[in-house]
Every structure is written in structure tokens, then in C-alpha cells.
Homo-oligomer: A and B are copies of this chain.
Amino acid sequence: MSKLKNDSFLRALLRQPTPHTPVWIMRQAGRYLPEYNATRKRAGSFLGLAKNPDYATEVTLQPLTRFPLDAAILFSDILTVPDAMGLGLYFAEGEGPKFERPLRDEAAIKKLAVPDIGSTLRYVTDAVTQIRRTLDGKVPLIGFSGSPYTLACYMVEGGGSADFRTVKTMLYDRPELLHHILDINAQSVIAYLNAQIEAGAQAVMIFDTWGGSLSAAAYKEFSLAYLQRIIAGLTKERDGVRVPNIVFTKGGGLWLEDIAAIGCDAVGLDWTCDIGQARARVGGQVALQGNLDPVSLFAQPATIRAQVARVLASYGHGTGHVFNLGHGVSQFTNPEHVGALVEAVHDLSRAYHA
């Protein structure tokens, strides 16, 4: 593998000095880019895109051609693991992800098993290897997975939900069944992320998209405990180089101290947290990633620059900050506004690293 030319992202995650604040954008390879939509059209479908390493490589690299981003993130879906477990992931036109065989009865839940990652998710590890080779050391590659609880939400509900009534009813009435699913999910996510690291991922991120829909007590028992197990089981070093990890619970700002205490390297923040207050609360224990309101990208470039300045000023001087949005970029965003964001971060952040 080529030597890494820009390691600012990895260094910031490990709270080492960098010349500027590194930046990447959640969902940076996505529908706001016309070139992404063109590739998706050729692939025929979202899953056709995600399951083909050539296409996955192509779209992963697209935003890096446009913008001087400091990291690439594997193009994939958060639901590849339950798909590999045999639940049958599909995307109905104009709707979110769905499962053909959601986990609804006890017998099916008890039969759930850790999939053989090497065979069922080979298309992902192949994509990681190919992307890493194509990147040629330009920037590091991030691997990722959904969190055990977030995967369980989709697995039990059979798709997205406004209130997660089915999975939460299981949580309240049959906690042992949900714990069984979460146990299998945690084992699977560890194997999946370690396979991505083995294939070339230089950092990994766990997306806990729905942990924030839980009560404080339920979050600790049904989401955070499994995130902690995953962090403990992750490969921490590859070829003598640290592989940092990031945990992101959307809506988890209230539980920041608890998240920072599970042993992760960095914590992702949504836009509702003040990042300076968050930094004071975690006291240098972890790096922080975030947290511009994604909707601010609908504003004019001068406004975007002012909002970027606000986040940078709130974090303050020194390392340990990876700039990002507080959630994925909207498909309706003007790509030029993403460019304005990246430029503003690089430009304005130098003063904080002098």
C-alpha cells in the first residue's frame, strides 16, 4: 500500500497536532452529486451499486475529485449485516430500506446467527481493498457499520418507523429476546468491521442512528453496552499503525460522558450539541467529530462560512476535532455549497492550529 499523503484525519482522531481541522461529510458520496446519480442509473439500483465493488469504488472516489476532503468513506449501506443474516434487504421505490423477513417470532430470533463475513459480505471487503488501492494514499479510508441497536430496529420493524413501536414493545416486554438479537448483532459487527480493517480500512465508524430514540436507561442497556463490546473487540492496530474508531449516536448529546467512557477514540456529535460544551464535558478523553447543521448548507456560501466559523470557534484551539455535519448531507444540497464548506473549514481552521 502507498504511504498516506494526508493523515490529518487520523491524527485528529488520535488528538495529535494537524495543520488544519480535517473535514469529511457524512453521506459525501450520495444523491446530491449528479455524477453519483449517473453511476446509480448505470448500476440499475441502489443495491446494484452497493454490491458491486467497481461501482462502489467509483462513487466513493467521486466527492474526492470535486472537493479536497480529508477522508474517504466506503460506499455501502448500514443494513448489509442483517441482509447477510438472510433477512432479505430491499428498497421499494421512493421508500427507505425494508426487509422481506423481519424478525417477529421467537423461533426466528433464536435461529439468528452470525453470518460468515468472508463469503456473505465479500463484496464489501473487496470494495474496501479496491478503494484503498485506487485512493493510492491520497487520504485515509473509513469503514463503517450500523450499531447493534440500530440494526435491530430495522430487523424487527422490517423497515424505518416513526415511533419504533414493534422493537420497543419487545424491549419493554421481552428484553431477553432483544438482548439475544443484540448479542448476535454485536458479534457480527465486530467480525464485519475487523474484516474491513483487514481489507484496508484505516478507521472505522459505528452509526447508531436510532439510539437517540431510547430513554436514558434503555439507551445504556440496549445500545451503549453493545457499542462498548464492539469497541473492546475491534482491531486497534494494523501493520503497526493505529486504526481509530468513532461512535456516533444521533440524539445522544445528553449521554456524551457515558459514550466517551466506553473506550472509543472519537465521538460523533449531531448539530444540537454545542461542540465547545461537549469538549468541556468529555475533558480531552476522546476526539469529537461534527457538528454543523446539515440544513445550513441550504444557506448562501457566505452564511455557510459564518456557520463554519461558529463551530470552529466553539471547539476552540488545539487538536481533536474532525469537522463534519451533524447528520448526512441532504440529497437536495447544492454541491457548490459543500465546496464552500470544505474551503471554509480548511481556511478558517488554520488559526486554531497555530
The closest CB in chain B to the CB of A327 belongs to: B163
Residue A16, interface by CB 8 Å = no
Residue A120, interface by CB 8 Å = no
* Complex contact A164–B295 (CB within 8 A): yes
The closest CB in chain B to the CB of A299 belongs to: B172
* Complex contact B254–A298 (CB within 8 A): no
Residue A95, interface by CB 8 Å = no
- The 8 Å CB contact of A165, one of B217, B274, B303, B332, is B332
Stretch at the interface among A32-40, A44-52, A208-216, A315-323: A208-216
* Complex contact A310–B217 (CB within 8 A): yes
Residue A251, interface by CB 8 Å = yes
A154-173 residues at the B interface, CB under 8 angstroms: 163-165, 168-169, 172-173
Chain B residues closer than 8 Å to A218, beta-carbon distance: 293
Residue A62, interface by CB 8 Å = no
From A163, A172, A299, residue with most partner B Cβ within 10 Å: A172
* Complex contact A272–B254 (CB within 8 A): yes
Residue A253, interface by CB 8 Å = yes
Chain B residues closer than 8 Å to A187, beta-carbon distance: none
* Complex contact B254–A295 (CB within 8 A): no
Residue interface bits A291-317, CB-to-B below 8 A is 1, else 0: 001111011100100010010000000
Which positions in A face B, CB cutoff 8 Å?
163-165, 168-169, 172-173, 212-219, 251, 253-254, 271-274, 277, 293-296, 298-300, 303, 307, 310, 326, 330, 332
A sample of 21 cross-chain residue pairs with beta-carbon separation below 8 angstroms, ordered by A number, consists of A163-B294, A163-B295, A163-B330, A164-B295, A165-B298, A168-B293, A168-B295, A168-B296, A172-B307, A173-B300, A212-B272, A214-B272, A214-B293, A215-B293, A216-B273, A216-B274, A216-B277, A217-B310, A219-B272, A251-B272, A254-B273
Q: A168-B295, A169-B299, A215-B271 are in contact. List 11 more A-B contacts (CB 8 A).
A: A163-B294, A163-B330, A165-B295, A172-B299, A173-B300, A213-B272, A215-B274, A217-B274, A253-B253, A253-B254, A254-B273
A-B complex: 6 closest residue pairs judged by Cβ atoms: A172-B299, A216-B274, A168-B295, A169-B298, A173-B299, A253-B254
